[in-house]
Structure 1
């Protein structure tokens, strides 16, 4: 039987911080592909709460159970070109809402113009985590009772990091 080609995909985001929604996407995508690269996209014009090194360390801890997942980063490059450069045939994107769909649909067509060989695969998270975003999580930190609420929306390594960074709150 001839060797099957390796199905490699890239799932990218800022992951500032990673949420349970991100973890769901990674868990699902790593089952679909032989190799999954979780890539932290660095935008020099955007201020992040966590450094690239912090986000990479947290993602590596979160992804440790998955032998076919590696964590990487790229800067100031189109995602589709990064995916091409690392030999990926697929980009994995999440769709949480109609507005996500409209945005992602447009980007998918642009990506196809730039790198026609790369397919975009859309995953839709379950309802109970569909509204979770990094921005939402960051906005929940601070008010009375925030720890119990934030803990519901992020993986344990992320929660520990948020606690350590906000010990005075």
Structure 2
């Protein structure tokens, strides 16, 4: 018996840490596809705050309501080639600004050159998430009342992890 056609997509990022903007993207993308692979792209040139395992744990915690989401990681390969290796026909990317659009437009053409059968799907988050980034969240940790400020930008499980790590490092 033939297996039913499965629309599989990859949504990749550093997720260091995952934000409410990432969660919005995951929520939207998982509704569009039969399976969504949320993949941590490991860049050895970047100094990550959280290990890959910590980021996987946070992503699993915030995606428990989405049975069609799988958490993964990849290193030392182009995203489009990773997508092909996991049988995905789609890459999901977010556009927050005009410069994001220009970058993603260029990457879409390069990805097509490398893997013509993989399409890029661009999602535009609502305004309240458009300025949220992992870098922004990490930059807010420290000043007075930072806990109250970042709580609005990250899911609860991520907030708890940040608080746990901050309390541990303060000792």
Counterpart residue number, 2:55? 55
CA distance in 1, matches of 2:101, 2:33: 22
Q: TM-score scaled by structure 1?
A: 0.97
Map 1:3-22 to 2 at 5 A. Answer: 4-22=4-22
Residue 99 (structure 1) shift: 0.5
Local SS of the residue matching 2:74: strand
Local SS of the residue matching 1:12: strand
Residue 96 (structure 1) shift: 0.2
Local SS of the residue matching 1:91: strand
Cα distance per residue 1:128-164 (max 9 Å; x no partner) = 1110000000000000010010000000111001101
Counterpart residue number, 2:30? 30
CA distance in 2, matches of 1:152, 1:37: 25
Residue 165 (structure 1) shift: 1.2
Structure 2 unmatched runs, 5+: none
Q: Compute the RMSD of aligned alpha carbons.
A: 1.2
Local SS of the residue matching 2:150: helix
Cα distance per residue 1:12-66 (max 9 Å; x no partner) = 0000000000000000000000000000000111110000110011101111110
Aligned residues: 168
Q: TM-score scaled by structure 2?
A: 0.96
Runs of 4+ in 1 over 4 A off after TM superposition: none
Counterpart residue number, 2:103? 103
Cα distance per residue 1:86-108 (max 9 Å; x no partner) = 00000000000000000011001
CA distance in 2, matches of 1:103, 1:9: 20
Counterpart residue number, 1:93? 93
